[in-house]
Amino acid sequence: MAIKQLVKRSAGWLYLNTPRPAAPLRGAGVILMLHRVLADDTSALLAHRTELCIGPQAFEHLLRWLKRHFDCVPLMDLLTAPVRAARPRVALTFDDGWRDNAVNAFPLLQHHQVPASIFLSTDFIGSRQCFWWESVGETLWGSFGAQARQNLIEHLYGIGRPVPAALLDSATEPQRSQALAQYLQSLKAMSAQGLSQLAEACPAQGTPQALDWQQVRQLEDSGLVRFGPHGASHAILTGLDDEQLEHELRRSHEALLRGCRQPLPVYCYPNGNHDTRVRERVAAHRYPYALGTRPGVWRGAHDPLALPRIGVSQHTAHHPSLLAWRMYQGARP
């Protein structure tokens, strides 16, 4: 293990296990950001998946650790209820609305009675529309066969986005996965339309990627999970003109009202991007709270329309003392 990692993990452990250093978290709340829980841990380990995907064993390990050190509370309790307990509070959030949240994450949440909030990109819910980064990433990874991979490589070449040699030629799986992660990151600069065209150039998958509305209602009926909007099309809100922004916010808001009994008054910015204009329009749609992706720990004094979160990866779920280290960094004045 790298020395730096060891130091962070040791510091994180000490932070939560000695009374004095934990004091900065008293009265604070930690909002964790997750995306997917896959069916197995091995496939979550690769670089192009690890930031957004964790496996069930790592997830359960994380839940047990959280229950040992925190009061696991619903997001709205963390944001609005007065602090009574001496223990710090944590709320789990999942972005996008992946089907595996119902299939793989929910049984573990239920078993451990840990509440969570899921933020839906509402155009995808109940449809076969695919998240571009998943479709492009897995097609290039070869998950849908060599021919589909080759077709997409040629398509990308044709639109002036050639796939890097490291992804094609690297000798080892981790190197190729790393190159793919970097390449997917570079594609984020493309327009929303261009990205959805890319997703369409990938093979159709047998099972939808996203939740459907029946699953949403089942999870909501459990009393353990609540839902909020994460855009409609997952377009980056800061890149939209006023009319598109309005349309995106209204569409996602209305879909939640139709699909849920009690949607959260919390917006979740796709990719975490927001600016003054976006925050004002979100507030105008009667969202007093909104989640970003800037790392940090919530205190009442933060801008409620730019709530900080701490991201969870396969690596940090497996080594939660690294999360404690990030909380420590985020809780420092």
Give the residue nearest to Zn ion (CB).
95
**Interior angle at CA 34, CA 176 and CA 113, nearest 5:** 135
Nearer to Zn ion, 95 or 138 (CB): 95
Q: Which is nearer to Zn ion, 83 or 184 (CB)?
A: 184
Q: Which stretch binds Zn ion (CB under 5 A): 36-44, 47-55, 90-98, 165-173?
A: 90-98
Distance CA 269, CA 267 (A): 6
Residue 96 in the binding site for Zn ion (CB under 5 A): yes
Q: Which stretch binds Zn ion (CB under 5 A): 95-103, 106-114, 164-172, 312-320?
A: 95-103
* Total residue length of the chain: 333
Based on C-alpha coordinates, what's the Rg of the chain? 20
Min CB(313)–Zn ion separation in Å:
15
In terms of CB distance, is 34 or 179 closer to Zn ion? 34
Cβ nearer to Zn ion, comparing 180 with 291: 291
Q: How far is the CB of 195 from Zn ion (least distance, A)?
A: 13
CB of 212 to Zn ion, least distance (A): 18
> What residue spans of 201-267 are helical by DSSP H?
213-221, 242-259
Least distance between Zn ion and beta carbon 176 (Å): 24
Q: How far is the CB of 35 from Zn ion (least distance, A)?
A: 7
Please tell me the count of residues contacting Zn ion according to CB under 5 A.
2
46-54, 74-82, 87-95, 143-151 -> range binding Zn ion (CB under 5 A): 87-95
The percent helix, strand, coil of the chain (3-state, each to 5) is 55, 15, 35
How does 140-167 read in b/e, with b if 16+ C-beta sit within 10 Å? bbeebeeebbebbbebbeeeebebeeeb
- Exactly one of 41, 71, 95, 123 binds Zn ion (CB under 5 A); that residue is 95
Residues pairing with 53 in the sheet: 36
Q: In the complex with Zn ion, which residue's Cβ is closer, 176 or 234? A: 234
Nearer Cβ to Zn ion (121/321): 121
Q: Which residue has the tokens 């060599």?
A: 146
Min CB(124)–Zn ion separation in Å: 10
Burial bucket for residue 324 (CB in 10 Å: 0-12, 13-18, 19+): buried
Shortest distance in whole angstroms from residue 270 CB to Zn ion: 5
Measured between alpha carbons, how far is 95 from 324 in angstroms, rounded to an integer?
21
Is the CB of residue 70 less than 8 Å from the CB of residue 89?
A: yes
Write out the residues near Zn ion by the rule CB under 5 A.
95-96
